[in-house]
Amino acid sequence: MSVKIRLGIMMFLQYAIWGSWAPVLAAYLQNELGFNGVQVGVIYSLLPLATIISPFIGGQIADRYFSSEKVIAALQLVGGVFLLFISQVTDYSTMMWLMVLYCLLYAPTLALTNSIAFINLKDSEKDFGIIRVWGTIGWIAAGWALTGWRVLLVPEGTKGFGGDLLFLAGLFSILMGVMSFTLPHTPPKREGASPWAFVEAFKMMKNKNFLVFIIISFVVATELMFYYQLTSPFLESDKIGLSPQSVPAVMTIAQIAEIFVMALLLPVFIKKYGLRNVLVIGVLAWPVRYIIFAIGEPSWLVIASLALHGFCFVFFFTAAFIYVDTIAPPDIRHSAQGLITFATYGIGNYVGAFFAGWVQDYFTVNGAVNWTGVFIVPCVLTILCALAFLLFFKEEKSVAKA
């Protein structure tokens, strides 16, 4: 089996694990286990927190002591067992602490799988995108597998589905662990980079334009959690009325759109309109989606608006990483990528998970959620982000002399 095929399978399974539980976990926790918004927010905050800590765990171990493929195998095998066990847990405190441990196992594999791909591809600039897209396909496949699981294997009339989403993620994780032993041998470098290397990029923030970019990126990342955390319970609510069986598959509309926008539209838009305008379009797509969510009807429009995730995510986050790569001085380019990752997927998502949970609880009265009020909040904040981009952000070629 060729290296590219093995790396593609790796990415498929890596994101099938995440895609099995992340899109629909909130609905399970709220509708079946009775957790409140803040409790759900805490659980969703654990992976971003683990992402912040992960450079000190898997990254340093793989850099100095063990080959990357063996580290991934061990983390995924143990993580899979954790997920199988967590799928049977219904107590909040127990689940929270087990999820802490699981996320600390899973988070390092996100960077390690990228690292293995870059190291073992002959032309990473040309081939990495093709390999990485299999991760998005894996996320989509997990959603459809969970829907198929619920339709075909769960007896009709059954109340709830238990922790099936976590059980499925556990199976994917164990499969990933076994498969990882077949990955290309990637030995430790012995002199790995410091986990605090991204701190070097803080000097770029002396440039006011880059500082504005980082602040807006952080705020937008907090609003991303309103989508990841609240969409599944919103779709299952009386407001929209989708069945728990169909929600996992319906939510993959977002990832299907993501592939389309990334492959066909992003390169064209960047070339024609420039990165700044692409970023602005990306930010503007967020309030459009949240306005539709806030109105909540007709249902077909709400479902169709999931496709806006392609623009929300790709035109902002993917374009943001490209922007950083183009303006960072060559000697701190990797550190700059670490900084934007820390600000968005780390601290931004961590704060956003708590904020989204608190907002949901604030707009919940006697067990009924005012979804209009909930989604007006991210709508307003992302409109302000778009205005800030238009007023204060100017595209530039380099901040090397900042």
Within this chain, do residues 138 and 233 fall inside the same structural domain, yes or no?
no
The residue among 195, 213, 229 that closes a domain is 195
Query: Which CATH number covers residue 37?
Result: 1.20.1250.20
In this prediction, residue 338 carries a pLDDT of 78
Within this chain, do residues 174 and 189 fall inside the same structural domain, yes or no?
yes
Q: Give the span between the Cα atoms of 150 and 164, in whole angstroms.
A: 9
Q: Give the span between the Cα atoms of 74 and 180, in whole angstroms.
A: 9
Within this chain, do residues 225 and 103 fall inside the same structural domain, yes or no?
no
Within this chain, do residues 52 and 126 fall inside the same structural domain, yes or no?
yes
**CB atoms inside a 10 Å sphere around CB 331:** 9
**CB atoms inside a 10 Å sphere around CB 397:** 7
Range with lowest mean pLDDT among 111-120, 252-261, 351-360, 370-379: 111-120
The residue among 195, 213, 234 that closes a domain is 195
Within this chain, do residues 186 and 329 fall inside the same structural domain, yes or no?
no
Q: What is the pLDDT of residues 381-397, one digit of tens each?
A: 999 999 998 888 886 65
| Nearest residue to 301 via CA among 309, 292, 313 | 292
Number of domains in the chain: 2
pLDDT of 402 > 50? The answer is no
Within this chain, do residues 230 and 151 fall inside the same structural domain, yes or no?
no
Within this chain, do residues 180 and 319 fall inside the same structural domain, yes or no?
no
Counts of helices then strands in the chain (DSSP H, E): 19, 2
Predicted confidence band at 322 (pLDDT cuts at 50, 70, 90)?
Answer: confident
pLDDT of 193 > 90? The answer is no
Within this chain, do residues 120 and 98 fall inside the same structural domain, yes or no?
yes
- φ, ψ at 316 (rounded to 5°): -105, -65
pLDDT of 10 > 70? The answer is yes
Residue count (the chain): 402
Mean pLDDT score, 59-63: 57
In this prediction, residue 80 carries a pLDDT of 97
Mean pLDDT score, 256-277: 89
Within this chain, do residues 65 and 160 fall inside the same structural domain, yes or no?
yes
Within this chain, do residues 86 and 222 fall inside the same structural domain, yes or no?
no
In this prediction, residue 334 carries a pLDDT of 65
Mean pLDDT score, 338-356: 92
Q: Give the span between the Cα atoms of 81 and 97, in whole angstroms.
A: 15
Give the domain extent around 39. Answer: 1-195
pLDDT of 84 > 90? The answer is yes
Q: What is the pLDDT of residues 203-231, one digit of tens each?
A: 888 888 899 999 999 999 999 999 999 99
Within this chain, do residues 220 and 82 fall inside the same structural domain, yes or no?
no
Predicted confidence band at 400 (pLDDT cuts at 50, 70, 90)?
Answer: very low
Q: Give the span between the Cα atoms of 344 and 224, in whole angstroms.
A: 9
CA distances, 210 to each of 165, 216, 285, 393 (Å) = 40, 10, 22, 8
Contact call for residues 116 and 183 (beta carbons, < 8 A) = yes
In this prediction, residue 65 carries a pLDDT of 67
Within this chain, do residues 48 and 120 fall inside the same structural domain, yes or no?
yes
**CB atoms inside a 10 Å sphere around CB 238:** 8
Category of 364 on φ-ψ map: left (φ > 0), alpha (ψ -120 to 50) or beta: beta
Q: What is the pLDDT of residues 273-288, one digit of tens each?
A: 888 889 989 999 999 9
Instruction: Name the average pLDDT for the chain.
Output: 88
The residue among 195, 220, 253 that closes a domain is 195
The three-state (H, E, C) secondary structure of 184-250, written as one string: CCCCCCCCCCCCCHHHHHHHHHHCHHHHHHHHHHHHHHHHHHHHHHHHHHHHHCCCCCCCCCCHHHH
Handedness of CA 183, 140, 39, 157 (dihedral sign): negative
